[in-house]
Structure 1
Amino acid sequence: MKISSSLFLGVYAFYSVCVRLVFAGRSFRLGIRDSLMIAHSFHRHPAFGPAGGMHGATYTCDVEFSKDTLDPDTNWVMDIGKASELLCTVLAKYNLKNLDEVFPNGQLTTTEFMCKQIHMDLVDLIRREFHEFHGEVCVKLWESHKAWAAYSGVVKK
Structure 2
Amino acid sequence: MFSLTVADHIMIAHSFKGEEFGPAQRVHGATFVVEAEFRAPCLDRANLLVDIAAARVELRRILDAIDYRNLDDVQGFAGQNTSTEFLCHHIHGELAVAVKEGRLGDSGHKVEAIKVLLRESPLAWAAYEAPLA
Q: TM-score, normalised by structure 2?
A: 0.90
- Asked if residue 149 in structure 1 is aligned to residue 126 in structure 2, the reply is yes
Write the deviation string for residues 110-142 of structure 1: whole angstroms up to 9, x where unpaired: 000000001001111221233624311100000
Equivalent residue, structure 2, for 1:36? 10
Match of 2:92 among 87, 95, 119: 119
Q: Distance in 2 between matches of 1:83 and 1:133?
A: 14
Match of 2:102 among 109, 129, 142: 129
Equivalent residue, structure 1, for 2:40? 67
- Residue correspondence of structure 1 range 1-157 to structure 2 within 5 A: 27-43=1-17, 45-71=18-44, 73-102=45-74, 103-104=77-78, 106-130=79-103, 132-156=109-133
Q: TM-score, normalised by structure 1?
A: 0.77
Aligned residues: 127
Structure 1 or 2, whichever has the larger Rg, is 1
Query: What's the offset of the Cα at 1:88?
Result: 0.6
Q: Distance in 2 between matches of 1:58 and 1:110?
A: 13
Q: Distance in 1 between matches of 2:94 and 2:25?
A: 26
CA RMSD in angstroms, aligned pairs only: 1.2
Identity %: 40
Write the deviation string for residues 71-107 of structure 1: whole angstroms up to 9, x where unpaired: 1x21011111111111011111111111111111x21
Could you say which structure has the higher helix fraction?
Answer: 1
Q: Identify the structure with bigger relative contact order (alpha carbons < 8 Å, sequence gap 6+).
A: 2
**Structure 1 stretches of at least 4 aligned residues deviating more than 3 Å after TM superposition:** none
